[in-house]
Structure 1
Amino acid sequence: MKNFKILNNYSIRSKLIIIYLFCVLIPMIVTNSIVYITIKSNEVREQRITMEHAIERVKYNLSSVLDDCVLVSNHLHNDITLNDFITRRYDNLLDYYERYNYLLQNNVINYYYNSQHVYQVTIYTDNDTISNSSNFRKLTSETRQSEWYRQFYNNNEDMTISVYYDDNRKNYGINNTARTISITRKLDNFDKTHENILKIDVDYNVILNDILNEKMEDNLYVCNKSYILFSNKKSNVGTEEFDTIDSIEEKDVKLNDFFRFKVANEAWNIIITANEVSPLSKIVERKEILFGLAIFNLLLPTIIIILVSHSIGYRVTLLGIYLGKVENEEFSTIEYNDGQDEIGKLIRSYNLMVLRIKELIEVVFKRDAEKQRLELAKKQAELKALQSQVNPHFMFNTLESIRMRSLIKGESETAEIIENLSALLRKTINWGEDYITIEDEMLFVENYLQIQKYRFGEKLTFSFYVMGDCKGIRIPKLSILSFVENACVHGIEEVSHNASINVSIFKYDSRLFIEISDTGSGMEEDQLNLIRDKLRNAEIDMLNNSKSTGVLNTYMRLQMYCNNNMQFEIDSKPKEGTDVTIQIFLDEPGVSNSFVKENQNNNF
């Protein structure tokens, strides 16, 4: 290999060009020239023939099904017994049912269900003396508003092929399909004075199964002007809405033909889409060509790659070994300096770097480390001095002295408010754990509202309801208090009439509900939508840019606590108040560990 050290003097870019020329470009040109000239034209021709045969089979199957249904409609159109039944006026229901039973006994309708292509035969008539049944319906205004009737009426033809989605058939029926194709015509062969309409529903699944039986890799579609009626892409689509024809990529269409109805002025498109022909799949069948290409594409690139990889691999491995020593704080220089390419320059740069690091460690780093330790000690001393200047116990002792003085003077109301304020401040300053029980949180809320009631007087009333099973559940600290405080500041302060705040907490079906409502000033729709938008797009950066962050902060803490397994709703009406509903899914995966532990302790 020493004779090939000359490669060390070439740049990596030049080596990659060599690899590209001999391992990619030249083999690709030779391979494509052979493969695409000998195979692709045959593949395209075979694909075209297969598609044409598939379309002819689809046309034949469609003709068989629809002609059979049209034949049924012709028989019923010419049936005088049926015409007499639907045009006759009945004096009472008994008279009607006698004629109906006679009709059934003669199999005028049921006889045609022997056709496997007919799903439903329904006759609509404006004769109001008949009674609705499975085959006979009154022609009502509601019927005239239906999709199939409007298509029939607007078409203004003797016979119409109606395509629509029937919601009423979605949840029942033998084949459980709501996609409906109907042949509709007037029963006016004997009587033109009444409006009698025959609607024969084609069995959708019969045509669908014929389409699915076309075993082809390409996509086959049967479409009208607006919708994809049938497709071989998936089965059991009877309950799904029709896909629009826009979902077919025009660039993928390989063949497009038409199926025209014999008795109706309408045509359906039969479309086949497919990917471009890839002749590479046929290479395996040409063993001689494959063997020759394997020698040409593997042997020559292997020789070139071995030579190039040896030029790069040894020195890169050596450089990696010495870099590993640097991780272990062992700084050694590399004595191997052969090569003028990028790796050789990299080795020399590494040696220079090692020498500079040694210098930094011995001089600069030690000096800076000592300086940083002195600065850190100074900052710690300043912080301790600052912390000692404010003693929270002084504040609590002062409030306790004021409370005791108020009690001595008989000012029990003032003493109670000072006691609530002291308790609230103590729990706020001594934060402790971020999660507390709902019972402790509600003590915060009660202390806060007692202070606000001292401020507002009779203007403010409040009430609580906490289900017993909910008291031990842990939630983020001050989460309920934040919403109660927001209700006081933005709801109660801005009204002159008496108002109330109500908090309800309960469990239902493994879900925790927290509801906070007030009867304050409420919000306009624009302001409410702005708040909802902020909550939907809540981010940490918004806390720094917003003046009011209490509700936003609490919302984000609750979402992190629940791992986004929470639903939050806020509703408000001007001059009526605001309602906040928080729903936490207790059994959903991802709820915080603190909640799960408390949940297990309470046997929920």
Structure 2
Amino acid sequence: MTGRFRNWLDDRLNNLKIKKKLFLLYFYCMILPLVLTDAVIIGLIVKREYDTKQETSRGIVSAVKYSLNSAAEETVMLSKNIYFNKYINEFLNTEFQSTLDYYNQYQELLKDSLFDSSLGTSNSIIRMYADNGTIVNGGRFWRMESVEEEKWYRDFMDSGQNMQMYFYYEDAGPTNPSPVKKLSFVRKLDRYKRDKYNKLLRIDLDYNAINQGMTMANYGGDVYVCSETGQILLSNTGLGNSSQNYSYISSVGYRSGEYTERMAFYGQELTIYVMPYSSGVGEVMIKSFPILVLMLLINVLFPWIFMNALRRNFVERIGFLSRIFNYSVEGRLEEIKSIHGTDEIASLMRNYNIMAQKTNSLIETVYKSRLKQQEMNIARQKAELLALHGQINPHFLFNILENIRMRSVLKQEYETADMIEQLAVMERQYVEWGTDMVTIGEEKKFVEAYLRLQKYRFGDRLSYSIEIQEECAGYKIPKLSLVTFAENSCVHGIEDKAAKCWIFVKAYRQEEKLYLEVEDTGSGMPESYLYYLRERMENANIEMLREKGRVGVINACLRLKMQTDGNIHFSLESEKMVGTIVTISAPVKYFREGDKDAEGTVSR
């Protein structure tokens, strides 16, 4: 599976441009990790602050519960003492004869130590109610009818409970001169089921003290103790005062999602809302938002600038290298002239230059080979044209020569007939150019035919010697090349000298070189002409064949140079009235048939 995915990924990436690959590298290796890392860090910070707030809120709620329960338990204990006090119960059940009788028994009750111990020492206001019509309202004892119309009484009676903690707002009345918030604990005094009167206990807790206690407590957040309807019963924010009616939690801008916890408070369901003070991290982040944005931009822009510079450095050089591969001047690969750096691309460019140099060298070699092939063909065609220019209707000439030879045979002029036959052979070689290459053995026959003709002309003035080393007889050279030098010896050496002359023609091998020599003992040549001819032989070219005058030697030298790729040496030595010697030397490999094919430099 992993290998298949890797192959799929490689295929996709191989079809993307380098510019897009670098963008993907920037996005997936810089931007995405940066965003994910920052998101995780911010998420951890937010979660940490949230957890801290939750922990703080739970602590605050526990403290509030403890504070409320402490105040409530003291009140409940007080109500319990009253609930089990038989003197109080008997007093409430007594039918008084008159107001004076009520007053006297009330004083007796006060003298009882159990009554004082039942009431305790708290600041709570204690009132006991009974539907005993003989009770005189005032102090701690009241007739039930005095509160039957009040809301707290009706709510308590409707609840069906025996005891209840009750928050309420009491309007101005007989017991209080002005409206006030109250927290009361109401309990039925029904320990004795056979009592003929219903009795009720109400203990008014010190609301201001409880609320002030919450305000003074360092909770570390805003706390709201609310009723089921959302009224704010207690708070540490100093919200309103005891004379103002309860406000609602919706009026203080409470945000949903803040910590809340329900609490059963002696028959009343309370909800504690906590908005802990921020730990400062969020505020710091908000205040530092411009700096955070700046840092984010730096984290994004700086890598982008660097990546863009890297992209230009990478893509542009690769693009330049791609263009240079497709660019050539006159069939040659263009080399990169300025290469900077030592990275892999610079190394690739340098390797390209090496390849271009080798390729150009190979192209040049092939072109030169083709050019030499063309030059050889042109030289051969030139030689053919020169030969054609030197004859008029060669077939007619051959027929005439054959008639003359037969006539000489009929007249028994055998020597003349033989010379005419040799002349016909020579002329036919000059005219027939089906191939430009002959073996040295074949060339020897042409030289011998030519020299026999010249001996017929000069008689005893001319003698010749032809020596061909046996292993050299199979080497191939351009046709009539040796004949040309032999002819030059006859024309320029023998004709101008009356004394007897010799012509020596040799072909031999020494080590890995083939030597061709044509020597005569003729009249020689002037030193100025010697230098002139030597220079033309060394630098023979096609243009020289177009010049007027005798170009036979130049033709032979040019064809020999083409055969050997210029790896040939011409030596020309001459002395006046002593003679002339022409020595041609070149590596044997250019004259072997197999080696020439292997070299690929000799054309036909």
Q: For this structure pair, what is the TM-score category when the shorter chain's length is used for normalisation? A: 0.3 to 0.5
TM-score by length of 1: 0.39
Greater Cα radius of gyration, structure 1 or 2: 2
